[in-house]
Amino acid sequence: MNASRDLQELHGVRSRSDDQAVTAEVLRLNQAARQAARGQLTGWDQPGHFSATLIAKADPFQAYHSSVQNRKPATGLIARLGEALRRRELSVGELVERALRRATEAQHAHRAFIEIFYDTARASAKKLDEEIAQGRWRGPLHGIPLAHKDCFERVGRAPTVGSIAADLASPDLNATVLSRLEQAGSVDIGALNLNEMIAGPTGHNPHFGDCANAIDPSRIGGGSSSGSAVAVRLGIVAASLGSDTGGSIRIPAAVNGVPGLKPTFGRISRAGCFPRAFSLDCIGPLAASIGDCELLFNTVTGADPRDPSNIDRPSSLAAQASERPTDTSRVAILGGYGDLSPDVQLAFSRFVARCEAELGPLARQRTLELHTLYAMGDIISKVEAAAIHGDWMSRHPERYSQAVYSRTEPGFHLPAVRYVEAINLRARLLAQFIESAFDVADVLVFPALPVPVPTRIEADMEQGSRVFSVVAQLTRLTRPFSYLGLPVLTVPISDDRNGMPVAAQLIGLPFGEARLFDVARRLIGDGLLCDDSSLLRD
């Protein structure tokens, strides 16, 4: 019996991938993890220390929440739409019809949606208009059309997860985050496109069609929350929820030029969200402005007994806070990002200069080797994905695209000890990173992508064994912070010579999302970063 058949016997999964490419990927990750763990681990390191370290190292402004939020004027597209609804200049029904029409019109070129909920959206709009007529107002999201990545459970509708292999039961409950948005009065107009099985940074999907960039459809929409970013940038909806394992909110936000937040690990409940890697996954908003992003974040954040990984932070400091933390926030530039393409380097350098013009001289910080953090996060992602998909891959391998199958396959071959090391080292590496990178800073500025937005052909992961190089290139600057569990807000900072967005990441201390929103406002403003014509003007 040959080696390939031996491995199939061991894992129950038939190899469909280039053996040399899979072997090289496994050896690369194994070596990186071994080097990182050498001399670091002790018998006392345990997985539970990670959440405890997030809490212990939290931003002192972590508890800033609704009591302060409600005292500041609302900003963003949602606020403008809400004002029009309150003044009865626009009905919810009219607003929802505009969103549905724009979603339909854009579908051929961009494929942002997997399903548009025409009937249920219209029924919700009618109910919400009746509530307004009765003087009932649920808050700033009342009557606002939204759409979300198709990885969330909806009552009576299992998510497709962008796949034909997923065999999920019809749920009896909505995902917690969708329930909170529904209770706040928003209208869910559709399930948004994504990379197959939440596995990819490009927006390619062979089953439901590629989700193309909102600015230039020949280029990638990013992934895996591609539909969320594209629908926002096109002005179909003002905001959307996506999920992020190694960059899946931040990359599509970057390539479409909209803000996107990966929150602190555990900050937002994941109940009812299909996982890619349960130790890394986060749910977060993408939106038309910083204010819209913050509003969605505040709406869905909070304790949830349905998610045992949820970390609820008390809001005891909120009543004591009289000012937002912007003026006292210390900002620094995080180095170690390696080579950037000339266009990205120029845009990032100019952004740093703008930051210093606004804030004064900024410290340059160096810290742990980011490639080590990348490798640790990649090991966790691959092993946990293999555990999730192993049964489906053994029973129906033909239902997976080659790219997703190949990307998942190394997870079966990585040594269990490397996975345990990656999990157990998180708390120690997080503490070391915070102590070195945040010693003179509250927020770190870092590039989002090292290259300009590639075309869909350039980033095609189905060609041979290119999946590993494409994923590594696009996630090189995002995955390390998923491993650390830190909050990261991606913001557009410029356009390149092709008119495509260039973005930066603002990295905060655990539970420091409020500070990130404030610093982002100061550095890029709170203007709309989308086409508002379809929602604000008929």
DSSP state of 302: S
**Residue 384 main-chain phi, psi, to 5 deg:** -70, -35
Instruction: Return all residues near 346 (Cβ < 8 A) that are at least 6 apart.
Output: none
d(CA 41, CA 312): 29
149 is catalytic: yes
Q: CB-based burial of residue 413 (10 Å sphere; 0-12 exposed, 13-18 middle, 19+ buried)? A: buried
Is the omega angle on the peptide bond into residue 186 within 30 degrees of 0, that is, cis? no
The amino acid that residue 117 corresponds to is: F
Catalytic residue (one of 17, 124, 224, 225): 224
User: SS3 breakdown of the chain: % helix, strand, coil, rounded to 5?
Assistant: 45, 10, 45
C-alpha 316: how far from chain center: 28
CA distances from 244 to 309, 456, 458, 483 (A): 15, 21, 23, 11
Instruction: Return all residues near 4 (Cβ < 8 A) that are at least 6 apart.
Output: 15, 19
Catalytic residue (one of 15, 57, 149, 465): 149
d(CA 228, CA 503): 17
Task: Let me know: does 241 contact 296? Beta carbons within 8 Å.
Answer: yes
248 is catalytic: yes
Catalytic residue (one of 91, 243, 248, 329): 248
Which residues are part of the catalytic machinery? 149, 224, 248
